[in-house]
Amino acid sequence: MTFEVHNRVSDFNSYRAARVKSLFNAENGCNFDLIANIEFPDEWQIGVIVGPSGSGKTSLGKKIFGADKIINLDTGWDTGKPIIDDITGDFDEVCSALSSVGLGSVPSWLRPFAVLSNGEKFRAGLARLCINRPDEVVVDEFTSVIDRQIARIGSLAFQKQWRRGNTGQKIVLLTPHYDVLDWLEPDWVFDTKDGRYERGRLRQRPKFTLEVQQVDQSYWKYYKPHYYLDLPMPIAARYFIGTVDGELACHLAVACKFEVKCYRATRLVTMPEWQGAGVGTKFLDFICQYHLDGHGLGGHKYPTLFHTSHPQLCGALRRSKKWTQVSAVLYGGNKVKSQKSISRTSKSHVHMNAGYGGHFRAVQGFKYLGARGTPK
């Protein structure tokens, strides 16, 4: 299919315009023409038009589905509502979409769109788009104003979510950035810079290596701003971090719970720029398997308990064959009971003001069985 773009504006003959023409031998600076030959695959879901600014991406995007199908992810938000209310749809569906595109930081869900960071705005816009899921849509300025690491991982998370359960919806992404193409794995790409067209998912998603190491508690300060609870640190815990090319990606603390022949994992955090890449759950599985294999404190080959109230993480663990659910508390814990327990075990036997519980979260508990066990 051939698309032609012919943009015409008035040819100005002012003194300065005439002087520019004479200085740079520019006879005509007002016209733009582009002819694009795009043979769409029989079935496709994601297409990309890439090229430098001013090369006709937006004009071509309007030609494909019509000018009324082009949108900007930053428009249409209510400044008086948190995004969890501003995105219409079922509560679980909205939470799932936000997490799936990499906006898993719960505090961000409670903020209006206007106060989010550029990266959070980008992911929130993608989540809303996945919920609305129009049959045909063109997204302008895709990843244009965000950090490149967030752009790449956000593109990966979005394309997985858009393809999941897709019933024929088509999206065209307009971007000046070539670094997201491999992460998007588009069904076709047209480059307005040289008119080159690629058809088929020929690009291979880049791979990265997550390196895991045991550290001390000092690293927690880098992750704490992204953790949705404010609790005292676990007693006598060991701390683990995951890094990619030296950049902090994940964090987990593991404490002993030997009275029930288990370890207890807590403080799982995935940095915002890595949310949506799937590294958080793989990191959690790796650390739990590490302890199940007898590398934890005491060398015990014990399973690991993990509690969370994050609905999407709960869903992921329930679907995993390596985990089994062991509890579900739909109301808050009693902090007074925890305070008395800590006081009894304290050598000083003084009254403790600190304690665990006293919240109103729906907490669900899971046990890691790994390859040694079969979920019941």
pLDDT band at 229 (very low <50, low <70, confident <90, very high): confident
162 and 306 within one domain? no
358 and 288 within one domain? yes
Say if residue 147 is exposed, middle or buried (CB neighbours under 10 Å; 0-12, 13-18, 19+): middle
Q: Identify whether the C-beta of residue 186 lies closer than 8 Å to the C-beta of residue 46.
A: yes
321 and 254 within one domain? yes
In this model, does residue 230 exceed pLDDT 90? no
Give me the number of domains the chain comprises. 3
282 and 251 within one domain? yes
Q: Give the range of the structural domain holding residue 2, as residue numbers without chain letter.
A: 1-37
239 and 267 within one domain? yes
User: Concatenated DSSP letters for 102-131?
Assistant: T---HHHHTS-GGGS-HHHHHHHHHHHHHH
Q: Which of 153, 169, 199 finishes a domain? A: 199
Percent of the chain at pLDDT > 70 equals 87
Per-state percent for the chain, helix, strand, coil, to nearest 5: 35, 25, 40
pLDDT score for 38: 85
Q: Which of 143, 172, 199 finishes a domain? A: 199
Q: Identify whether the C-beta of residue 33 lies closer than 8 Å to the C-beta of residue 3.
A: no
255 and 344 within one domain? yes
**Position 272 in a domain:** yes
Amino acid 3 reads F
Q: How far apart are CA 251 and CA 243, in angstroms?
A: 9
In this model, does residue 338 exceed pLDDT 80? no
250 and 172 within one domain? no
Q: What residue ranges in 258-330 does DSSP mark as E strands?
A: 262-270, 304-308, 323-329
pLDDT score for 8: 67
Amino acid 95 reads C
Return the H-helix or E-strand segment holding 7.
Answer: strand 2-7
Predicted structure pTM score:
0.75
Q: Is 32 left (phi over 0), alpha (psi -120 to 50) or beta?
A: beta
Q: Which of 148, 176, 199 finishes a domain? A: 199
- Using the Cα atoms of residue 194, residue 197, residue 203 and residue 205 in order, give the sign of their dihedral: positive
In this model, does residue 356 exceed pLDDT 50? no
181 and 126 within one domain? yes
pLDDT score for 355: 45
CATH number for 277: 3.40.630.30
**CA-angle at 2, arms to 64 and 159, nearest 5°:** 40
Torsion of CA 329, 335, 340, 346, to 10 degrees: 100
pLDDT 10s digits, 314-326: 888 999 999 999 9
Please give the C-alpha separations between residue 133 and each of 35, 168, 179, in angstroms, as whole numbers: 29, 10, 25
